[in-house]
Amino acid sequence: MKNNYIKNHKILVTGGAGFIGSNLCEALLALDNTVVCLDNFATGKSENIQHLLSNSNFKLVVGDIRNIDDCHKACNGVDFVLHEAALGSVPRSIEDPITTNDVNVSGFLNMLTAARDAKVKRFVYAASSSTYGDSKGLPKKEEIIGKPLSPYAITKYVNELYADIFHTTYGLDTIGLRYFNVFGRKQDPNGAYAAVIPKFVMQFMNHESPKINGDGEYSRDFTYIDNVVQMNLLAISTENSNALNQVYNVAFGERTTLNQLVLALQNELAKFDSKIADVAIEYGPNRVGDIPHSLASIEKAKSLLGYTPHYCIEKGLEEAVAWYWEHLRVIKANQ
């Protein structure tokens, strides 16, 4: 499938200095594409793209998607857009719904408008599994969603509605990718809104007890970054017209409880430091806005895009933990 990916095109990655965006920039450059990275570094990290700055096919545009002029500048001459820029985190959206809406809805609308004006061929955007809200059915299928449970979830659903309108009204082809609990290299372990896997890794490495929200039996479809990269490449490369203007789940298609996750992380990290095996696990209250269980159907992505995820959670955790062990040791040594 790799040989069928798009090459020698100009592609904009918004949020390109972030966790997912920087991995996409690397993959696109490896396929001989020209990459424009738009980022305001609110959550993106300069170290994620530092090694790319010397590449003549890589261009950094420091700007904010809330500024329409920045969006137009970044879209100039671009063939495809991979829109990753957003303010993630359910708790952050509950604490500050206005900023979350400004970035995720107003910023998204700016990017759609700039992409339309620049006549880009396709606009692929990061949607979210949070859109399923209070729907009870498992596995989650794209056509059946529930009521959103957080401001963040509302913004990501509104993105899907706007993308659909821009196709029907302006003829802009779009594809939405509903990410399910993505993890892997370059995911930030620091800050109040750190994702659970890098946060737990950092705590274990410091011999601190990770705290699980609830009894640990909530479950998620954890998805390794390379599966996400594959889906983005398929989304901009597909020549199947039936695959366009759709929304897809991006996941592996297996469910893991938080208890299973933390034990798997502990076992992987104990290979590097045996003392980690003795670290106790703590439990706290459930988090507001969290859904109990999440499991994706990936049949639609397999059928229309040829998606074949290669990384189960065990394989993904093995790679991610090895990367974190080396990366976080360097950070700690420099502190």
Number of Cβ within 10 Å of residue 170's Cβ equals: 12
Q: Which uninterrupted H or E stretch holds 323? A: helix 313-333
Residue 93 CA to residue 152 CA, distance in Å, equals 5
Residue 283 known to be catalytic: no
C-alpha closest to that of 133 among 185, 90, 99: 90
Annotated catalytic residue, options 5, 125, 132, 152: 152
Residue 139: cis peptide before it, omega within 30 degrees of 0: yes
Q: What is the DSSP string of 180-201?
A: -SEE-TT----STT--HHHHHH
C-alpha closest to that of 183 among 166, 196, 193, 172: 196
Token couple for 163: 């993308």
Q: Which uninterrupted H or E stretch holds 319? A: helix 313-333
Q: List, by residue number, the catalytic residues.
A: 152
